Structure 1
Amino acid sequence: MQAVSEAEDQSDSFKALSLILEAWDEGAEQGIPSELMAYAALYTALTDLVSAFGEEAVANMTRSLDKRVRQGEFTIYGTTQ
């Protein structure tokens, strides 16, 4: 039963990502700069996470983001610095 649940979670994650990418494309088509889209996405994500889990949990979760960014985890194009 857990395998089905994990498969459903993965399917929902792909659906969620697809919706975000569609909205991103729509914003780009309307001329909204990608950095503004990124800021809005981060803001929305963090406010939703704080609403769901609380400030302390989100602060703990995001504590390692600086290290992950510097290690290139989020670098898709170009080279890491």
Structure 2
Amino acid sequence: MFAPASGLGVFDRESGERQLALEYLAEAWNEAEEDGVQTGSLAHASLFAALATLVKLHGDEAAADLVAMLPDRIRSGEYNLDKILQ
């Protein structure tokens, strides 16, 4: 199950509205899993929806620039919900 309250680091301090949005998404995610939707399918659909929205709001180049930064952020553990932040 997706638990938004643990290990979000910078994200949960950045914006109350973003935290609220994440809580809504976590609720929908958990309901979908309870209905039998596989986690991998949810992740892929979520990434597609997020990227399509970023492209619509900011354009192809800005979205591509953001995605280009993701490998380093992923490797540094920014998206690891199991990582303990100190």
TM-score normalized with structure 1 length = 0.77
C-alpha RMSD over aligned residues: 1.7
Matched AA of 1:74: Y
Out of 47, 57, 60, the residue aligned to residue 55 of structure 1 is: 60
- 2:58 is aligned with what amino acid? F
Number of residues paired by the alignment?
70
- Which structure 1 residue ranges, 4+ long, deviate > 3 Å from structure 2? none
After alignment, is 10-19 or 26-35 more displaced? Answer: 10-19
Question: Counterparts of 1:28-39 in structure 2 under 5 Å?
Answer: 28-39=33-44
| Consecutive unaligned residues in structure 2, runs of 5 or more | 1-13
Question: TM-score, normalising length from structure 2?
Answer: 0.73
User: Which one has more relative contact order, counting CA pairs under 8 Å at least 6 apart?
Assistant: 2
SS of equivalent to 2:80: coil
- C-alpha distance after superposition, 1:12-65 (max 9, x if no partner): 212211110011011110111111111111100000000000000101111111
Counting helix residues as a fraction of each chain, which structure ranks higher?
1
